[in-house]
Amino acid sequence: CVCVCVGSYSASQGVECIRQHVAEFITERDQGVPSDWNNIYLTTGASDGIMSILKLLVSGEGSGRTGVLIPIPQYPLYSAALSELDAVHIHYYLDEDSCWALDIEELQRAYLSAKQLCTPRALCIINPGNPTGQVQSKKCIEEVLHFAYEENLFVMADEVYQDNVYSADCHFHSFKKVLYEMGPEYFNNVELVSFHSTSKGYTGECGFRGGYMEVLNMDPQVKEQLVKLLSVRLCPPVPGQAAMDVIVNPPREHEPSYAQFIKEKSWVLDVLAQKARLTEQILNSVPGIKCNPVQGAMYAFPRIFIPPRAIQEAKARSMAPDMLYCLKLLEETGICVIPGSGFGQREGTYHFRMTILPSPEKLTVLLGKLKEFHLRFLEEYSQEGAQSSSLHREEGAH
């Protein structure tokens, strides 16, 4: 039980007993891997923690300027924060053909090419992925942590969707637990910060702006500077801290509300899993759309074929081709999705991100309308469509 006055400031790192509950939650989640509550910092959502760590890491000019490895496609918070801090964006591409897996050779390529221009200091990973919805394997995480160890990179693990795993053959592995299992040489040396939030998971309480980060192996003097940096914003919202406490300290088996809690939590996650499969199946039934399995998180990021004539029109209007597609979709159907160009994508490919949050009934209708729109779009901009339109104009003139 936590007694907190929500109208008062708390300590800059957050309410002490809530930080202790977070540490207990992490230890239980990671099957006994110890967590020290002194390494826990409560934050204003995960975004606040991410921004604070980046502020701490970024420095230098010229070839000494800080570079940060970020996945492409990526959550735009990272590119925006790096631009604000004048750090170098180092893009590594996720492998779309392998269900958006992280390819260690691609990571090495990005790192080596960037070393000529800047000083890479940090590596960001989003797992489960946003916008791509993939869940990285334990082997992949081991390779990433080994790479970070070899190159002395600070690892930022964005794990806000850790409860959202839908594929039966996928499992969430926390970076901390995998690091621990790699042995003391790794666990005691790799600098790692992991983030969680009230905004995602099975709760979706994004308005509370609650979150936490756990920081491992940070130099004590640097840690002092982190506390100073966090003290500038006084403290995270206390209601958000209380909401985070509810998430990390849920009802237990012996408590009266446990059965109801498990029923509601399971229902939310089961319905999300159902909608993930529904989205993948319907999108893949549409000619010109390819959607990887939505293994986790809350989004699909399908690849779309855009005819050359539509690409030409987009260029004439000074916009990305997938932006033209998304605007037309919004105008004709009222469906709002985000163009893949807003997240980054390989040159010559086009995507959009959509959420799987609507009810199954609404999602089915939405996907049906999207399918009809896409077929019309292909017809409108196909060569045959252009010839047909030209023929109709000529007949009208006669």
- Compute the distance between CA of residue 371 and CA of residue 314 in angstroms, rounded to an integer: 21
pLDDT of residue 204: 84
Mean pLDDT over the full length of the chain? 91
pLDDT of residue 394: 45
Task: Kindly tell me the sign of the dihedral angle through the C-alpha atoms of 361, 367, 371, 376.
Answer: positive
pLDDT of residue 202: 87
- Residue 183 — left, alpha, or beta (φ > 0 → left; ψ -120 to 50 → alpha)? left
What is the radius of gyration, based on Cα positions, of the chain? 23
pLDDT of residue 62: 83
Omega of the bond prior to 128 within 30 degrees of 0, cis?
yes
Domains and CATH numbers, the chain: 16-248 (3.40.640.10), 259-397 (3.90.1150.10)
Contact 166, 296 (CB under 8 A): yes
pTM score, two decimals?
0.89
| Per-residue pLDDT tens digits for 252-267 | 999 999 999 999 999 9
| Per-residue pLDDT tens digits for 343-397 | 999 999 999 999 999 999 999 999 999 999 999 999 999 865 444 444 344 444 4
- Compute the distance between CA of residue 72 and CA of residue 94 in angstroms, rounded to an integer: 6
Query: Per-residue confidence at 133, pLDDT binned at 50, 70, 90?
Result: very high
pLDDT of residue 290: 96
Over range 104-111, report the average pLDDT: 95
pLDDT of residue 13: 81
- Compute the distance between CA of residue 238 and CA of residue 13 in angstroms, rounded to an integer: 11
| Per-residue pLDDT tens digits for 308-320 | 999 999 999 999 9
Contact 211, 240 (CB under 8 A): yes
Is residue 35 predicted with pLDDT exceeding 60? yes
pLDDT of residue 2: 54
Over range 179-204, report the average pLDDT: 94
Over range 289-298, report the average pLDDT: 95
The residues near 178 (Cβ < 8 Å, ≥ 6 apart) are 138, 141, 142, 145
Q: How far is CA 106 from CA 1, 111, 205, 264, 285, in A?
A: 47, 9, 36, 41, 31
Query: Per-residue confidence at 239, pLDDT binned at 50, 70, 90?
Result: confident
Contact 68, 59 (CB under 8 A): no
Degrees (nearest 5) of the Cα angle 264, 265, 267?
Answer: 65
